[in-house]
Amino acid sequence: MKLVFDIGGTRLRRGVLDDRGEFVLLDDRINAGDLESTLEALIDEALAKYPIDFVGVSVAAQTFQNRILSAPNINLGALKGVDFAARMRTRFSLNAAIDNDLKCAAIAEVAARADVSSLFALFIGTGIGGAYAENGKLIRGANNNAGEIGHMPFEKTPFLCGCGGAECLETSASGSAIAKWSEYYGLKERKLSDLINSDNPKATEIADRFYRGVDRAIKTIAALFNPRVIALGGGLALAEKSVLSCANEALKNAFAPAADIAIELSSLGDKANLLGASFLDLQPK
């Protein structure tokens, strides 16, 4: 059986999958306090109930070779820079792997579409991020950051991205961007649908900026990656129908070969990262 985690800035999810790949345990909690001790306690608890033989972790962070390099929204504590797989072998005698959350999502989206030769996973939730796979294999780049669409230059904003950049797409087209802009303008609206339905011109401005960002992301993905499918997921994208409409409209005016690209909503919902983490033991070393 496999024990999987999805670690975000505010939430830590846990799942246990049986040999058929079905969840027999799925729970979550607020991600607070010491991450290392929290994870180890949850692993100990799972080991007491299930015959776990692998631990897979999806994390909203920059990762490389089973190490978390940077996670602006997560208190990593002693886990920063540590070889996670080696620590799990030493502490629990378990095989383990850890990877970026969008890489995990892309792995799961590819597994759900065995007939798709190339896929870009674009997830829009608290943040916006992406990952690309071709012929079932992730294209990772020199240090596992290929496809990080959320950090491409877009429009300058009065606040910084978590990575330290002042022009990242994520500060314009994400759930956290909407919240920051609303606070900046003193608005109560915190949802895209509320901004759309507001009579306040500042609310309209925030929504327009968000849609411009989605438009730029889709056109950039089409031109640089030319995938067969763009899998659109993340809490915000799945909750707001206007995001899919915006993405499809962007394709109509994109680089000509984009006519062959399909945009599909993720069918995996909020389990994509966890499912992807369960496949990390099958990824090329």
The predicted-structure confidence for 182-220, as pLDDT tens digits, reads as follows 999 999 988 999 999 999 999 999 999 999 999 999 999
- 249 and 167, same structural domain? yes
Look up the CATH number of the domain holding residue 12: 3.30.420.40
Q: Flag whether 108 is in a domain.
A: no
Question: What rounded mean pLDDT belongs to the chain?
Answer: 93
Strand partners for 131: 121
Q: How far apart are CA 42 and CA 68, in angstroms?
A: 19
Q: Flag whether 105 is in a domain.
A: no
* Closest among 152, 159, 156, 112 to 128, alpha carbons compared: 152
Q: Flag whether 107 is in a domain.
A: no
Question: The domain containing residue 122 runs over which residues?
Answer: 113-266
Q: Flag whether 152 is in a domain.
A: yes
Lowest mean pLDDT among 57-61, 127-131, 159-163, 245-249: 159-163
pTM > 0.75: yes
- 241 and 121, same structural domain? yes
- 131 and 212, same structural domain? yes
Domains of the chain: total: 2
**Which letter does DSSP use for residue 279 in this model?**
T
How far is it between the farthest Cα atoms of the chain? 59
Q: Flag whether 8 is in a domain.
A: yes
- 146 and 235, same structural domain? yes
Task: List C-alpha distances in Å: 177 to 5, 41, 148, 182.
Answer: 26, 34, 17, 8
For the cut 70, the answer to whether the pLDDT of residue 285 exceeds it is: no
Structure-model confidence comparison of residues 157 and 77, the more confident one? 157
Q: How far apart are CA 256 and CA 50, in angstroms?
A: 52
Q: How far apart are CA 238 and CA 249, in angstroms?
A: 17
Strand partners for 120: 132, 230
pLDDT, mean of residues 41-45:
95
Q: What is the pLDDT of residue 236?
A: 94
Q: What is the pLDDT of residue 9?
A: 78
